[in-house]
Amino acid sequence: MSKRDPALHRIQSAEMTPTRRRLVLVVTLLALAALGWAAWSIVEPALHSRIVITTGADEGIYRGFADHYAPILKRKGITLDIRPSSGAVENYQRLIDPNSVYEVGFIQSGTIRPKDTDNLQTIAAVSYEPIWVFYRGATTVDRLSQLRGKRISIGVPGSGLHNVSQVLLGLADVTHDNSTLVELDANNAYQGLENGTLDAAFFIGRPDAPMQQTLLNSNLKLMNFVQADALVQKFPSLAKIVYPRGATSIAKDLPPADVTLVAATAQLVAKDTLHPALVYVLLEAAKTVHGGEDYFTPVGVFPNLNTAEFPIADESVRYLRSGPPFLQRYLPFWLASFIERRLLILVPFLAVLVGLLQALPRMLEARIKKRLVVWYRELKSLEDEIWITTRPSSEQIAQWRDEIESIDAHAGQIRLPQKYFQDVYALKQAIAVVRNRITQIAAHASQATQ
């Protein structure tokens, strides 16, 4: 009601009109719709069906991992977009760029120095990456210092092998100043060893990789790291592993003895903005690919969280402790992620809705009773004036009578649910009390006049 009810002389406003009630209802519904839309717009774009991963050389170990992940993710409705790189260092540079399309990549332990501002997280350590040193010549080489003065291939710039080999050689005081360190890829390094232009070369990769198989079945000699314990102590990002006797060929007894190696660890790393549901899917793929027994580890060693270079994803801790989320265990990934995303919106929305549903009956009751209260207030104001007026004039008494009849008339027009009828009659009883008071005062005034 834009203007005050003319029947209400003593209070400011009447009850809310139907028009105003409709306006309040519309505004409330619009606010709830805006809240729901905002929550939806925040959550809905967070999950997509494509992951861009940066790997390594096309025929390298990281590319092999990604090629195994791709069909597993495809069954979940996720496309793995595999992008090659020069190696772990380039992968790191791609991932720390917040504007790049790369979301996941492989980084070799010990190749970079992470910073707090990288905004990266480790999904899991997935595999050992053995470091092999093959050499030629009659002399047995089992210490890196024996390579001083030699021609040595240390891998290509940007690769994890390039960084690690330089650190290991530096610990043995083998440097550019006293040796010839050449930057070659695996194929050219192997050719250099075969044609005699190199004395030794560093390689990295699993024993079953094509290049490693070629090297292990060649006439080249494999270095046994007799100082492996000391090297790992100096360079904690590496691990000591053993390549067993006969692992290349039992029939030929190759190698003829256990060979001690040092190994980096391949880490599956992601931007910390990667959706948690995708982290779980990648972990499942990693467990399928890396969870079996291999040359260096028994079943179930990988994937693990035995790495400290980047913060560990919370989802990884939960997955490796108790398995995948409940919904993903029993539902297809697309359906589980659909429900989980909606729950992020629905749970708080339902909480608000339940609160509103609980409050609505009380709000409705208060609104209904306000229709009576407005007239109680008018009646009380009139009664107060009657009590404080000791000698009312005939004009005042006539005005009081008009007011009490107006209040009675309006009270009779109030439409309320049946359960509130007793409140209406309580108001009428109160009106009768005040009317009787006015009648008594009028009678006294008439006697005084006579």
**Alpha-carbon span 104 to 119, nearest angstrom:** 12
Whether 32 and 60 share a structural domain = no
Angle subtended at Cα 10 by Cα 9 and Cα 15, rounded to the nearest 5 degrees: 80
Residue 136 in domain: yes
Whether residue 315 is found in the same domain as residue 173: yes
Q: How many of the other CB atoms lie within 10 Å of CB of 54?
A: 28
Chain centroid offset of residue 34 CA: 23
Contact 248, 232 (CB under 8 A): no
Whole-angstrom distance, CA of residue 3 vs CA of residue 135:
101
User: Is residue 384 included in any domain, yes or no?
Assistant: yes
pLDDT digits (tens, 9 = 90+) for 136-190: 999 999 999 999 999 999 999 988 899 999 999 999 999 999 999 999 999 999 9
Q: How far is it, in rounded angstroms, from Cα 224 to Cα 258? A: 8
- Return d(Cα 426, Cα 432) in angstroms, integer: 10
In a domain, 7, yes or no: no
| Residue 169 shares a structural domain with residue 310 | yes
Q: Are residues 74 and 217 in the same domain?
A: yes
Query: Which contiguous run of DSSP H or E holds residue 145?
Result: none
Q: Tokens 């390594």 sit at which residue? A: 56
pLDDT in tens, 344-376: 556 666 677 777 777 777 777 777 777 778 888
Provide the domain count of the chain: 2
Residues 280 and 366 in one domain: no
- Structural domain of residue 229, as residue ranges? 47-324
Closest among 235, 224, 229, 215 to 261, alpha carbons compared? 224
Out of 324, 355, 381, a domain closes at 324
The whole-angstrom separation of Cα 279 and Cα 325 is: 11
Q: Within this chain, do residues 232 and 366 fall inside the same structural domain, yes or no? A: no
Residue 66 and residue 23 share a domain: no
Q: Is the pTM of this model over 0.85?
A: no
Residue 152 resides in a domain: yes
Burial class (CB in 10 A: 0-12, 13-18, 19+), 85: buried
Tell me: do 313 and 377 sit in the same domain. no
End residue of a domain, out of 261, 290, 324: 324
Q: Give the separation between CA 433 and CA 420, rounded to whole angstroms.
A: 21
User: Any idea which residue has 């360190």 for tokens?
Assistant: 181
pLDDT band at 6 (very low <50, low <70, confident <90, very high): low
End residue of a domain, out of 264, 294, 324: 324
State the Cα–Cα distance between residues 398 and 442, nearest whole angstrom.
9
Same domain, residue pair 190 and 67: yes
Q: Let me know whether 317 and 444 are in one domain.
A: no
Note whether 274 and 385 are same-domain residues: no
Residue 329 covered by a domain: no
CA 54 remoteness from chain centre: 21
Which helix (H) or strand (E) segment holds residue 33: the answer is: helix 18-43
Residue 3 — pLDDT band, cuts 50, 70, 90?
very low
pLDDT at 24: 65
Among residues 130, 127, 160, 131, the alpha carbon closest in space to that of 304 is found at 127
119 and 28 within one domain: no
